[in-house]
Structure 1
């Protein structure tokens, strides 16, 4: 039912776009970039920072609805992390798939134990309110929620298992390169046991509100050079996570720079770069699942965007975004962990459920925006070219209405 409602909302707003006639629009405010944060199976339970590539605070209050869909797949894998420094040193001399550490019991061979299996299409529903404070400050308040699904047609056209495996079989990757077909398409298996024995488990059609985020952005006039079209902004971020798996508070900060190039025909190029740092779980309200023992998540992001104005001064913009995020687990553990999975049954990637938690995550996103004075719609496609399944493929749509 919710899919039909979403379709009707999109259809109605697209009709408004075509029907509305307005001869003028103010120049766009920097780069059009909605929330394109990845639907990572750990990340959805905590706040993360979406870089802000606007050049100034909004003049009017606006409301945005963001919908995203992402496919994640990690076969079942177990991890043993020896606690004895001597054993750690011995294992670090071997490549990870040749390590011979055998866990017997905590007294003779003490080790942390974890296991994970992730197979689902995650849907995100994010509601965001932007409130101007003055010419240099604004506040974003957002509510994020998620739905766990099997990802069947027609509601997951690009992110379904069938679409991804058709691409692998017919274009690139080969037949069932990571075992989706072996385990069965259109499944939900979402279970993680952390090193403390806590269990995170979700099922098909589970829906939950993950948290509330407060983001304050400051646009310092003394750093803005309008003659050179160079702009800066700084953000402070507070995330309140409310699920039973991670009731906690995160805090962070961000910095962004935007350069605008105006062409002879008044079309524009924008280039933005930004970085941020988030301290996860600075306060825990209860026992939480260990969603990565690296307490900090840092992000670097850049985007280039071309904007073409119509005769009525509406516009179309096309953007390419690159983002890299630091790892969820501390890198040193990758020197001595022991991973056990069904490596004989599938072609490759059986270890990714844990090995990718020790890698930086990177994504490429391709965005299209159409805007009129009071209305803006953005579509995006995001691809994980490093095959970290974070997620493998993600698509999204954002609708923004200004007062």
Structure 2
């Protein structure tokens, strides 16, 4: 599936490069997009990197507010990971749900043990400021926080358990396909024990500041590329995580490219491709919960945006964004782990709490943006088409206002 998606995006990109270009009236800086990072139950504790598809450095100082709401659901599941290489080799010959590893005696069959249960609507709030550092450099400083909720109406109209299960029952998915109704709607059950015995536990209405991020971008000049309306930017990213579960420092790098085309009748098209890598927990300030033993999170992202300008030079823009991120845990462990859960009591997905930590996460995001010189608003919804509930469905809104010119 991923190869087909990449092929479609590549073909579309090549077709657009050959399209007839017109003079642009754009005051929009490349692809305007909100922060669309997922409300993943591990990801909210780390910095991660929101891809930047601007084409030039920030001219005006702006403030922005970003709010996201995502429904995360994983029934209780336990994991045993044998430490003996011979046992690992033996178990790797069996498909994961047929593995017969015996773990009763840690002395004779040593193994790492973990368990997890996640049931909550996670709301993330970001307050940021963007300003110019120099002609080709800008900086974003963002403060992020999280609220753990039951997701009851009217505060989570699209991401509540009722909304998602109504969709499953009446449109697609079938009746209670993942056990939300079985375990009870509108509940918070958020607990994780890592392989070292550390526990992360959150309750309804828990609110915490999860970190502050510094995102620097450099916009070099490449005459031949810029003449074809192709622009590159490179980013360096520093995140200071402040929650009691992951007091640490993250560092990352990013590279992004944007192709801009102006068409007749005040239409503008932008296509962006970006790649980034984040080194999680480069420095731990104190003992932390193990939120995945893969030290690096890598992300590839593509975005296609079409914009229509009005006579007053306001614009309406629609984007389709595809994002794929590397796994939180090292994938080799999936060759020999054993998962234990209540698989007989729900239809599917009982193992997702751990199995999805060993797989790549991918999302499609659909974004609408309204912009004018002194105000920008974006709305989006984000869908996990692999249905690994990390989160299942997410919505968000962003406001951006210049404060200095």
TM-score relative to the length of structure 2: 0.92
Which residue in the other structure is 1:155 paired with? 155
Corresponding residue SS for 2:181: helix
Q: Give SS of 1:108's match.
A: coil
2:215–2:235: 8 Å Cα contact kept in structure 1?
A: yes
Indicate whether 1:120 and 2:127 are aligned: no
Structure 2 alignment gaps of length 5 or more: 1-24
Report the CA distance between 1:267 and its aligned residue.
1.2
2:349 maps to what in 1?
Answer: 349
Structure 1 equivalent of residue 7 of structure 2: none
Asked if the contact 1:224–1:232 (Cα under 8 Å) also holds between the matched residues in 2, the reply is no
Query: How far apart, in 2, do the equivalents of 1:61 and 1:394 lie?
Result: 29
Alpha-carbon distance, 1:225 to partner:
3.2
Whole-angstrom distance in 1 between the partners of 2:106 and 2:323: 40
Distance change >3 Å, CA 203–CA 224, structure 1 → 2: farther
Give a deviation string over 1:41-71, Cα, whole Å, max 9, x none. 0000011000100000111100000001000
Is this contact kept in 1: 2:77–2:117, CA < 8 A? yes
| Equivalent-residue separation in structure 1 for 2:380 and 2:352 (angstroms) | 26
1:72 corresponds in structure 2 to 72
- Does 2:359 align with 1:362? no
Q: Distance in 2 between matches of 1:204 and 1:220?
A: 47
Structure 2 Cα separation of the partners of residues 26 and 373 of structure 1: 10
Shift of 1:250: 0.5
Aligned residues of 1:130 and 1:139 also touching (Cα < 8 A): yes
Name the CA distance, whole Å, in 2 between partners of 1:269 and 1:131.
25
Residues 168 and 177 in structure 1, CA contact (< 8 A), matched pair in contact too:
yes
- The aligned counterpart of 2:6 is none
Deviation at 1:102, TM superposition (A): 1.5
Contact 1:297 1:326 in 2 (8 A): yes
Evaluate the alpha carbon distance shift between residue 223 and residue 351 of structure 1 in structure 2; reply closer, same or farther with a 3 A threshold.
farther
Contact kept? 1:224, 1:231, Cα under 8 Å = no
- Partner of residue 53, structure 2: 53
Q: Distance in 2 between matches of 1:61 and 1:175?
A: 49
Query: How much does 1:134 deviate?
Result: 1.8
CA deviations on 1:155-197 (whole Å, 9 max, x unpaired) are 1011000011011111111110000000000000000000000
Tell me the distance in 2 between the aligned counterparts of 1:105 and 1:141: 50
Judge conservation of contact 1:363–1:382 (CA < 8 Å) in 2.
yes
Give, in angstroms, the shift of residue 99 of structure 1. Answer: 0.4
- Is the 1:294–1:327 contact (alpha carbons within 8 Å) kept by the matching residues of 2? yes
* 3-state DSSP of counterpart to 1:356: helix
Question: What number of residue pairs does the alignment pair up?
Answer: 379
Spell out, residue by residue over 1:321-377, the C-alpha distance to the aligned partner (whole angstroms, 9 max, x if none): 000000000000000000000001001110000000000000000000111111000
Partner of 2:130: 130
Aligned pairs for 1:191-270 (under 5 A) are 191-222=191-222, 225-270=225-270
Counterpart CA distance in 2 for 1:105 and 1:150 is 39
For residues 254-279 of structure 1, what are the alpha-carbon distances to aligned partners after superposition, in whole Å with 9 as ceiling and x for unaligned? 00000011102231000000000000
Aligned CA distance change for structure 1 residues 71 and 223 (closer, same or farther; 3 Å): farther
Answer yes or no: is the 8 Å Cα contact 1:367–1:378 preserved in 2. yes
| Displacement of 1:203 | 0.1
Tell me, in whole angstroms, the C-alpha distance in 2 between the residues paired with 1:372 and 1:332. Answer: 49
Aligned alpha-carbon RMSD (Å): 1.0
TM-score norm. by structure 1 comes to 0.93
Deviations 1:283-312 (A, max 9, x none): 001111000000000000000000000111
Superposition deviation, residue 97 in structure 1: 0.4
Residues 1:92 and 2:92 aligned together = yes
Distance in 2 of aligned mates of 1:388 and 1:164: 14
- Structure 1 residue matching 2:225: 3-state secondary structure: coil
- Distance in 2 between residues matched to 1:64 and 1:118, nearest whole Å: 30
